[in-house]
Amino acid sequence: MDIYRINDIEELIKENTYPGRGIVLGATPSGKALAAYFIMGRSANSRNRIFTEKEGEIFTEPFDASKVQDPSLIIYAAVRSFKNNLIVTNGDQTDTIYDGLAAGESFSQALEKREFEPDAPNYTPRISGMITFEGDAFNYQMSILKSADAAGSACARYTFSYPAMPGLGHFIHTYVCNGDPIPTFQGEPERVELCDDIDAFTEKLWRGLNEDNKISLYVRITDPASGRYEERLINKNV
């Protein structure tokens, strides 16, 4: 087993009908910071969503507001910035991290206030990531908060910290695969290959996601030296 294998993200997910929501963070070959976030859905309520951008922040919003059944776990800020930090998560813990940083807390300290989603029997994990820029360099952290047992009686917390290594990204998603209940992501974030071409990476990731269940994708590549970034946003519902 090659523990240092770097996967092609399209090949990694193309046979998986439901990885759920996913975050990719890492460094492109030229040393730029890449962040990607996608959402998928099986129910009509989950599929009734789009990504919208407001002043550099990304939000999930209903595609058809008249069809929203329960907005509590599907409508949130997915991408926000606080000073030199870019926050990406799969829920309203984006705001928890933002507020925690503002209060002087670390990424992991802020997430101590949260746990997995209360959607028994799946107990969907909360996945989060944060890129921290320092001068012309950066590093990043990823977190997963998931149920410690099938009854949802306790929360297991895992935080991963990574240096920026050119061409290498890490990919974490909410589920292993489809199921009933849906099995929670296991192990460390997966190592994936990144590229400098934002269109090529966006197309590869979007193409790999299951056609029936994919909903939206956002990708941002940031030059750490200048802070300037490129972004791509795809919504299946248009």
- Pick from 54, 74, 77: which is nearest to 65 by CA? 74
Separation between Cα atoms, residue 207 and residue 209, nearest integer Å: 6
Residue 82: CB partners within 8 Å, gap ≥ 6? Answer: 97, 98, 101, 102
Q: If you compute the radius of gyration of the chain from its CA atoms, what whole number of angstroms results? A: 17
Q: What are the structural domains of the chain?
A: 9-235 (3.60.20.20)
Please say whether the beta carbons of 49 and 215 come within 8 A: yes
For 79-135, how does the pLDDT look when each residue is reduced to its tens digit (9 = 90+)? 999 999 999 999 999 999 999 999 999 999 999 999 999 999 999 999 999 999 999
Interval 3-18: pLDDT, tens:
899 999 999 999 999 9
Confidence at 207, pLDDT banded by 50, 70, 90:
very high
Residues 225 and 229: their CA atoms lie apart, in Å, by: 11
Say what the pTM is: 0.97
